[in-house]
Structure 1
Amino acid sequence: MPKRLPPANDPRRRGKPTATSVRSHSAMAWLLLWPFYLCGWLARAFSWPVRLLLLTTGYPLIAGLGALAVCAVGYGIQAQRYDLAKLDSMPERTIVLDRLGEEIGRIHGEKRSVVPLAEVAENFRKAILAREDARFYKHHAIDPIGIARAALANIQGKRQGASTLTQQLASDVFQLKEGEHRHNILRQANRKLLEIAIACRIETSLSKDAILEAYINQINWGRQIRGIGEASRIYFEKHPSELTLSESAMLAGIVRGPDAFNPFSSLTAAIRERNTTLDRMVETEVITRDEAEAAKKQPIELRPKWRRDTQESYAMDAIRRDLEVILEKENIALGGLTINTTIDLRIQHKGEEALDKKLREVERIPGYPHQTRTSWRALAENKREEPTYLQGASVVVENHSGAVLAVIGGRDANESKYNRAIQSRRQLGSLFKPFVYLAAFDVGLRPDTSISDGPIQPGEIKGAGTWHPHNSDGKFGGMEPASYGLIRSRNTMSVRVGNLAGIGRVSEVAKNAGFATPMPANPAAFLGAWEVSPWEIATAYSIFPNNGTRFCPYLISEIKDHKGNVLYSALPVQYPAAKAGAAWSISSILTEVTTRGTAASVSRLGFDA
């Protein structure tokens, strides 16, 4: 009897699937294709024509649903990569306030201020929903009815979108359209499916009111304006809670084309969009026809043209410089901050007016040979170059705290951005003489010590060589009290006082007083023959009324986040810069300078000594 081969070696079985593998493949087929099997089994109960109809419609439908399920899973996984916390982390602009709470300006980030939904006029909420998503509170992420309506409108040649408000929010916050080309159909389809998946996540995670609040604070109204807070402030100079029905409808209407329908540049188009929105509100039954017609008749009161342009400010420039240092040092993130400063806008504005008034008087002197501000402003804007008309600068400091009350870097920051108060360097001249006398008083000189006002002799002043300065009146005198040399600003006496103190001591006093620019090591520096900024001069002079104590100048007093938490607080910082007695003596002498000395004219201007 021939020997039987084992089943595995049987030639008749080679290449044939085993019963186990057949059962495995069969189970997999059932797992994947059971809807098709079920459809076929159910169709067997019907006659052949009906069965054919059921199979030809059922199989494609099942395949479509299967593909939809695969897409839902795939895009659902992709949607998990997007952090929904970003919906709440909208970067607002930072508000800068003066010491009395008046707004100086806004800096950093987009033009946005987040406003709670409860603080937005109901008129606007109705208007934006009527225009963008009337069934917002009735659907979940996507609106099948809206899709059908949009499809029908597009077939009829009317362009209409079907994205829900939540889809728009997802697309905007996560910038899903970035880099997308108009004719790239596949990329557009991919983006739309991802948008729907993220919108579903948002609807699952947030309430409808929270979604609407995020949306109205995210909307782009053109000109880098984001959110209802900034839109209502910039266009109508109102808080969102104060918007009328007409204003609400206009803001809701221009959302679809913020540049094309900008009321500042295209008021007619903006009014047309307002009227369209009002009609839409009537259709959705949120207002009556009479209310809509009344709103259409209301005149539009926009922000006046002269207040639309961003106004530059020397104070803001100085604040920005300080703020950058503080934010980096304290590791504070930008956006949504409230910056309380020491600036007093009343003093700032009065200082600017006074500076310009005085310089205009100079420009009106007969035969004045230079460019005037009036002649520069008379030029066509496209022919204006950097102005060369007369400029000035001023810094106002609160002596007993170091708080900077005003920074005036020129006549108009919109015309010249160069901030002369902190950037320019000019020779000190006689402004430096009090510090020379302070250094000498520190080492024992008294105000009544006699000092010669005669000509400087060769070799008399250490390091001067043959240098021999004259007095401003071209005259010399005899022996006079040291105080007389400061009151009358006598050059010869001041150089001798500086020589008595020594260059090293005078330089040290200057540094302690706050001069950041090092004093040159030569006798000419005693007469201010070196350059510093107005900021340095103003802050250094504060040591005299403080009996030698210097308060460090500061502009920013407090920084709060959008929740009101204090992130940074500045207190006056002081240190002894000179001996109290010597500083008091200088302060007393400077009082006499303003009554019978070279600055006596200040009393005629209304200032107290």
Structure 2
Amino acid sequence: MIRKVLKRFLLFVCAPLLCFMLLGGGALWYYINFSHNDFSPSDVDVFLGAQPEALTEILDDEGAPIIELPAVSDWRLRTPMYRRTVKFGDMPDVMIRAALAAEDQRFFSHSGIDYQAIVRAAFEVFKESARESFRSYRPRMVFAEGGSTITQQVVRLTFLEEDLQREQKGEASRMDKIRRKIHEARRAVWLERRLSEKLGHRIAKERIFEAFANISYCGHGRYGFGACSIYYFGTPIKKIAVPDAALLAGMVRDPWEYSPRVHPGQAVLRRNTILRLMAEQGNITPEDEKRFVASPLRLVSATGDRTIAPSVVKFVLQTLWGMPNSATIRWESGATIRTTIKRSWQIEANDALEKGLDEYRKRHPDHAKKIQGAFVVIDSRCRVKALVGGSHATYTSFNRATEARRQPGSAFKPFDYLAALEDGFEWSFTINDAPVSVSMGRGRPRHIIGNYDGRFFGRIPMWQGLAESRNGATARLGMEVGTKKIVEVATRLGLNPNMEDFPTTTIGAEEVTPLELACAYAAFANGGFLSKPLIVEEVATVTGGMKYASERMQVLETDIASKMVEGLRHTVTWRKGTGRSLLKLNIPVFGKTGTTNDFRDAWFCGSTFGDTGVTACVWIGMDDRTPLGEPDLCRPRDAELRKHCEPGAVAALPIFEKFMSYIYRDASPEPLPEGMEERMEEAHRHGIVRD
């Protein structure tokens, strides 16, 4: 009985099934290899010129990454896509061999489809179909997966992407999938044939493998072995280890199932399978296989979009959109943007600002959630070395370092004294430190300009008026020099070009950004040269690259700039100077504090000297302009009531001090010009002191 059943099964099920497969297979072989009339020759050029979406990477001044910004594969769903394109010549041999072992070991010898793999897959189809037919007592076809070459996978992901998406959404029938597989095989043969005619067999294969290596998905938004190696192992693809290469190669088949972050056990099993295949193919020794199989997973923490410099990222992107030729850059294909940022300084700037704000929060817990700040550090050419746009900033949040316009208060006074020096005044000239009544215009009552401590000293040297930030003396100097001259000087040094020449402009009533003020102060320190802010030095893309340099122009005579350094150094060395606490740094820094009415803004901007000098500018305040202190209770000369005051020397200067002590911990800045310190000591003997 069993023999009859078996005989009938072989005769009426297996034989027809086998004949169908042989006849159909022969026809299909001819169709795949020779029926290519519907393919366009231009598709070869499209393939060779294709540049897949890739991430944009922002680097610091030494080439280390600040952040990776993904491309977006679907702007409706905003699907992030992290890809680093890698040329075949930059792909390590171990990665190539691991990928071939996992996906297509005869890749370099077949012509687009692997007939051995097809025979193996056909046997699986026959076996599974026979089993299912036996169970159901009628002929049935069961299609098993497998047999796709690397070329077929490349064709699927480049030419047949729409069909693949329909399948993934469950919108394609079984026959649709069969038609897609046949079309995929035809195009794979055609593509290899045409590429080989155009480039030669070996180069054609290399270009196909390069495409495969850059479009393969490894999970978590990472595409291509270059991005995956960085994401999982923190290693550039050129330095990838053998077991790590095997793991990446094994993930291509099912990135979710074999993800080491989601299913580490499955990932290790799949990796070990690839290692075994590599050993069988002679790519590694049996001893190495045993050692690699025993090795644990070595994953780095996933960083996502976290960065040490979120405000830098925002400023970089804003800057690039306004740069010449930026419209010609193919951003969708990825870019590498090298910046001027010095990583260690950026980290220290972050820390200095947060610690300064924490100290303020201890003094004023009611404002703990509202207090904000900004910190800018530049070199002598206004190249941005560190930039913090706020407390706990993100790269989409308001950047107070470049976007916030606030009154600089007394940090503006150096421009009053600069105007006077250009008009022939000297630091030894005396000015009257007394109250000043100024017209506010438009029918408003006159405004009395007084001093922070409520005292007036009468005739004092100009340098002392700056060092002690005497409002009365500075306002009278401004009236003598003229506000038009002061506004001309300030705008020449890059401050607000729409600045008005009001009497209160002389004491910092006009608004500036921290970055603008820093670049202006740098002109004092570098001998009188103004540079436009620079944060992007180089942009490299698949279509080429561009380099940028700071534009520099002389805006001050060298001797005038030197005199400004001397005047600002008085604020540190004079016994009553507002920057006196900086003496403990034991380096020749100079700068100026700034405080606005009712303590709504606190500033300190300062520098070290020369072409190697550094300028840093700190602003502290609240976005809604709430006073930092309690102005009605503040009494600067009262030891108890002084706690209600929040001048720049208290809120901002310690942040500058902490940062400068870090960058000069093992180095010294350029010395001040010869004879300057001696002149200042002599001048201090004639300063007016009131206890």
Give the TM-score normalised by the residue count of structure 1: 0.77
8 A contact 1:180–1:188 mirrored in 2: no
Distance in 2 (CA, whole Å) between partners of 1:213 and 1:460 is 70
Corresponding residue number in structure 2 for 1:573: 551
Q: 1:151-162 maps to which residues of 2 (within 5 A)? A: 151-154=122-125, 156=128, 159-162=144-147
Q: Select 1:311's aligned residue among 304, 307, 310.
A: 307
Task: Compute the displacement of 1:429 (Å).
Answer: 0.8
Q: After TM superposition, list the pairs within 5 Å mapping 1:230-309 onto structure 2.
A: 230-281=227-278, 291-304=288-301, 307=303
Moved more, 73-82 or 216-225: 73-82
CA distance in 2 between counterparts of 1:105 and 1:318 reads 13
Deviation of 1:326 (Å): 2.5
SS class of match (2:523): coil
1:593 counterpart (571, 574, 588) = 571
Unaligned runs of 5+ in 2: 1-18, 72-80, 129-141, 197-201, 590-691
- CA-CA distance at 1:451 after TM superposition: 2.2
- 1:184 is aligned, of 172, 178, 187, to 172
What's the secondary structure of 1:424's corresponding residue?
Answer: coil
Change (3 A) 1:443 1:556: same
Contact 2:314 2:395 (C-alpha < 8 Å) held by counterparts: no
- Distance (whole Å) between structure 2 residues aligned to residue 464 and residue 98 of structure 1: 51
Which of residues 510, 516, 528 in structure 2 aligns to 1:548? 528
Q: Which residue of 1 aligns with 2:329?
A: 332
Where does residue 405 of structure 2 map in the other structure? 425
Quickly say closer, same or farther: Cα 1:477–1:176, change in 2 above 3 A: same
- What is the rounded CA distance, in whole Å, between the counterparts of 1:549 and 1:287 in structure 2? 61
Whether the 8 Å contact between 1:93 and 1:106 is mirrored in structure 2 is: yes
Which whole-Å CA distance do the structure 1 matches of 2:429 and 2:515 have between them?
A: 33
Q: 1:80 to 1:575 in 2, by over 3 A?
A: closer
Residue 453 (structure 1) aligned to one of 433, 455, 459: 433
Paired with 1:148 and 1:195, the residues of 2 have a C-alpha distance of 17
Structure number with bigger Rg: 1
2:520 counterpart letter in structure 1:
A
Equivalent position of 2:13 in the other structure:
none
2:416 match: 436
Cα distance in 1 between the residues matched to 2:92 and 2:359:
51
The Cα shift of 1:592 comes to 0.8
2:148 alignment partner, one of 156, 163, 166: 163
Structure 1 residue 170 displacement after superposition: 1.6
Q: Would the aligned equivalents of 2:88 and 2:206 in 1 still touch at CA under 8 Å?
A: yes
Query: 1:225, CA displacement in angstroms?
Result: 1.6
Q: Secondary structure at the match of 1:550?
A: strand
Q: Secondary structure at the match of 1:559?
A: strand
Counterpart Cα distance in 2 of 1:271 and 1:158: 28
Q: Which of 434, 439, 454 in structure 2 is aligned with 1:474? A: 454
Structure 1 CA distance, aligned partners of 2:46 and 2:112?
A: 15
User: 2: distance between equivalents of 1:308 and 1:501?
Assistant: 55
577-586 or 284-293, which deviates more: 284-293
CA distance in 2, matches of 1:487, 1:219: 64
Q: Is contact 2:54-2:334 (8 Å) kept?
A: yes
Q: Amino acid of the residue matched to residue 131 of structure 1?
A: A
What is the rounded CA distance, in whole Å, between the counterparts of 1:118 and 1:580 in structure 2?
53
Distance 1:548 1:67, change over 3 A: closer
In the alignment, the residues of structure 2 paired with residue 606 and residue 121 of structure 1 have an alpha-carbon distance, to the nearest angstrom, of 52
| CA shift in 2, pair 1:603/1:96, >3 Å | same
Assess if the C-alpha contact under 8 Å between 1:87 and 1:214 holds in 2: no
- CA change 1:63–1:481 in 2 (3 A) is closer
Aligned mates of 2:24, 2:212 — CA distance in 1: 37
Which residue of 2 is the match for residue 397 of structure 1? 378
- Is 1:201 paired with 2:190? yes
Post-superposition shift, 1:187? Answer: 4.5
Query: Deviation digits for residues 343-401 of structure 1, max 9, x if unmatched?
Result: 22222222222222333333344x73343xxxxxxxxxxxxxxxx353322111212x2
Q: How many residues align?
A: 531
Name 2:596's counterpart in structure 1.
none
Q: 1:369 aligned to 366, 386, 389, which one?
A: 366
Q: 2: CA distance between counterparts of 1:536 and 1:478?
A: 34
Structure 1: distance between partners of 2:513 and 2:83: 36
Measure, in 2, the Cα distance between the counterparts of 1:158 and 1:343.
57
For 1:114 and 1:178, how far apart are their aligned partners in 2? 22
Contact 2:112/2:152 (8 A) holds in 1? yes
Match of 1:126 in 2: 97
Q: Which residue of 1 aligns with 2:519?
A: 539
Q: Please give the alpha-carbon distance, in whole angstroms, between the structure 2 residues aligned to 1:90 and 1:144.
A: 30
Offset at residue 115 of structure 1 (A): 3.4
Q: For residue 322 of structure 2, give the secondary structure of its aligned residue in structure 1.
A: helix
Q: Deviations over 1:443-478 (max 9, x none)?
A: 344433332212224669999951112100011221
Q: 1:67 to 1:163 in 2, by over 3 A?
A: closer
Equivalent residue for 1:499, pick from 467, 479, 488: 479
- What is the rounded CA distance, in whole Å, between the counterparts of 1:460 and 1:171 in structure 2? 74
Q: Deviations over 1:215-259 (max 9, x none)?
A: 223211122322222212221122334333322221111112223
**RMSD value, Cα:** 3.6
Give the whole-Å Cα distance in 1 for the aligned partners of 2:415 and 2:430: 19
Q: How far apart, in 1, do the equivalents of 2:452 and 2:107 lie?
A: 81
Report the Cα distance in structure 2 between the residues aligned to 1:118 and 1:82, rounded to whole angstroms.
21
| Partner secondary structure for residue 542 of structure 1 | helix
**Superposed displacement of residue 120, structure 1:** 3.8
Preserved contact between residue 463 and residue 522 of structure 1 (Cα < 8 Å): no
Counterpart for residue 45 of structure 2? 83
Task: Give, in angstroms, the shift of residue 602 of structure 1.
Answer: 1.4
- Flag the 1:543–1:286 CA change in 2: closer, same or farther, 3 A: closer
CA contact (8 A) 1:512 1:578 kept: no
Alignment-derived partner of residue 141 in structure 1 = 112
Question: How far has the Cα of 1:302 moved from its partner?
Answer: 0.8
- Report Cα offsets for 1:90-136 as digits up to 9, x if no partner: 45544443333444344464533333445544443333222212332
- Please identify, of 472-481 and 350-359, the stretch whose mean Cα deviation from structure 2 is larger: 350-359
Distance 1:108 1:232, change over 3 A: closer
The aligned counterpart of 2:562 is: 584
Higher strand proportion: 2
Paired residue type of 2:297? I
Unaligned runs of at least 5 residues, structure 1: 1-56, 372-387
Work out the CA distance in 1 between the residues paired with 2:243 and 2:118.
Answer: 29
Distance 2:117 2:298 in 1: 35
Identity between Structure 1 and Structure 2 (%): 29
Q: Is the 8 A contact 1:471 1:490 kept in 2?
A: yes
What secondary structure, in the 3-state scheme, does the structure 2 residue paired with 1:427 have? Answer: coil
**Does the CA-based 8 Å contact 1:507-1:518 persist in structure 2?**
no
The whole-number CA distance in structure 2 between the counterparts of 1:543 and 1:179 is 58
How has the CA–CA distance of structure 1 residues 68 and 479 changed in structure 2, closer, same or farther, with 3 Å as cutoff? same
Q: In the alignment, which of 348, 351, 354 is matched to residue 353 of structure 1? A: 351
